[in-house]
């Protein structure tokens, strides 16, 4: 049996930090897409193939027994395959999986659109279909959390799986880790709280600030600075403004989106270290070009999601950002993980090498 899948990247629109403390995040599935090609084997072997090389292991009822400790390029996808095999919890034939590299942005820049989350989603979905294991989204959320030491909200994973414009509340993965078995833990955690909201007609863009930030480091810094009632007030404000942004995007009302973005940015910049001079410049240029936007993600660098009232305004925005040295790209709103009729030729070549 063989499956070929693709999945989008992600961008946070609202709810950064708030989603970690019980609030709601709004996110967007965006291109470019990445691909996976997987097929069953006639033995119990597991082969994970990336541009960086090949990792081999063996299926056991307790998970995948890897021949060597998965290195950094393999860590997320290897954990994803292990979680699916653990969920199956019995002997089975193995599989082989090839994952495409994340397409870089202009100039070879890594844009931070969720490559690790997308790799996990593609690996889990591929293995789950081949091994007939249900609850793929929950397993993806669990695998991504395990691979990064329990940190993060899982919003990026949900977006790569579901795509489009969506609303997400953090999945309680601690119920899985505290349960006596994976099966009982998944039942205790329940289905992930994800709501598909469709798309928006407003043209969207992304601009990279020129510096990458450590999401884990930013979360630690902010959580140390904001506690108790201050967190609750932040969550309430974020949820209220997120609803305004969602309504504006779904109705393609630029004025409403503009106001919500400005207030969400002020809220994020009230947190220590989130705003940077580069993101401030991007947002100022967006306003000058008749567009709007806000920082996307944990902040401290990375980039901004931007919205324009029409295509002419988006072209003007991208030109203004490019003339000032920023890497800026138009965004396509993409559906979630889906089956494809064919895979990129290099994936098949990697599997047969």
Using CA atoms, how far apart are residues 310 and 239, in angstroms rounded to an integer?
A: 27
Number of domains in the chain: 2
CA 278 to chain centre: 23
CA-nearest of 24, 268, 296, 303 to 153 is 24
Residue 107: its pLDDT value, please?
Answer: 61
Residues 314 and 170 in one domain: no
**pLDDT < 70 regions, the chain:** 103-112
Residues 185 and 311 in one domain: no
Residues 241 and 325 in one domain: yes
Question: What global pTM score does this model have?
Answer: 0.94
Residue 16 Rama label (left phi>0; alpha psi -120 to 50; beta) = beta
Q: Range of 42's domain? A: 2-199+335-352
CB atoms within 10 A of CB 149: 8
Using CA atoms, how far apart are residues 124 and 144, in angstroms rounded to an integer?
A: 10
Residue 71: its pLDDT value, please?
Answer: 95
Pairing mode, strands 63-66 and 2-14: unpaired
Residue 171: its pLDDT value, please?
Answer: 96
CATH (domain of 257)? 3.30.70.890
Total length of the chain:
353
Residues 123 and 270 in one domain: no
Residues forming a β-bridge with 24 = 169
Residues 195 and 231 in one domain: no
CA-nearest of 310, 333, 33, 292 to 166 is 333
Residue 213: its pLDDT value, please?
Answer: 72
Residue 215: its pLDDT value, please?
Answer: 78
Using DSSP's 3-state secondary structure scheme, residue 323 falls into helix
Q: What b/e readout covers 115-133, taking b as 16+ CB neighbours within 10 angstroms?
A: bbbbbbbbbbbbbbbbbeb
Residue 109: its pLDDT value, please?
Answer: 55
Residue 338: its pLDDT value, please?
Answer: 97
Residues 312 and 171 in one domain: no
Q: Of all residues in the chain, what percent are helix, strand and coil, respectively (each to 5)?
A: 45, 25, 30
CB atoms within 10 A of CB 97: 27
């Amino acid at each position: 049996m063989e499956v070929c899948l693709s999945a989008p990247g992600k961008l946070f629109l609202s709810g950064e930090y708030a989603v970690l403390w019980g609030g709601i995040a709004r996110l967007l599935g965006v291109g470019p897409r990445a691909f996976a090609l997987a097929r069953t084997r006639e033995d119990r072997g597991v082969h994970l193939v990336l541009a960086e090389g090949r990792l081999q292991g063996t299926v056991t009822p307790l998970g995948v027994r890897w021949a060597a400790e998965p290195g950094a390029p393999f860590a997320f996808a290897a954990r994803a395959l292990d979680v699916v095999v653990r969920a199956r919890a019995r002997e089975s034939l193995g599989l082989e999986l090839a994952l495409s590299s994340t397409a870089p942005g202009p100039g070879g820049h890594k844009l931070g659109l969720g490559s690790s989350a997308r790799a996990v989603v593609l690996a889990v979905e591929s293995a789950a279909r081949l091994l007939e294991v249900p609850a793929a989204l929950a397993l993806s959320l669990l695998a991504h959390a395990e691979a990064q030491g329990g940190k993060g909200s899982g919003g990026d994973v949900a977006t790569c799986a579901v795509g489009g414009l969506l609303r997400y509340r953090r999945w309680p993965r601690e119920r899985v880790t505290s349960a006596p078995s994976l099966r009982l833990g998944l039942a205790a955690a329940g289905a992930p709280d994800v709501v598909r909201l469709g798309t928006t007609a407003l043209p969207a863009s992304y601009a990279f600030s020129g510096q990458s930030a450590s999401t884990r480091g930013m979360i630690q810094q902010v959580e140390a600075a904001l506690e108790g009632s201050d967190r609750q007030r932040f969550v309430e404000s974020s949820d209220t403004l997120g609803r305004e942004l969602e309504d504006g995007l779904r109705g393609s009302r630029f004025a409403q989106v503009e106001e919500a973005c400005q207030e969400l940015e002020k809220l994020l910049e009230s947190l220590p270290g989130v705003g940077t001079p580069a993101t401030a410049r991007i947002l100022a240029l967006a306003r000058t070009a008749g567009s709007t936007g806000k920082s996307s993600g944990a902040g401290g660098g990375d980039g901004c999601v931007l919205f324009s009232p029409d295509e002419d305004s988006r072209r003007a925005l991208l030109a203004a950002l490019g003339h000032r040295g920023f890497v800026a790209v138009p965004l396509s709103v993409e559906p979630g993980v889906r089956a494809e009729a064919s895979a990129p030729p290099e994936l098949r070549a990697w599997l047969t090498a």
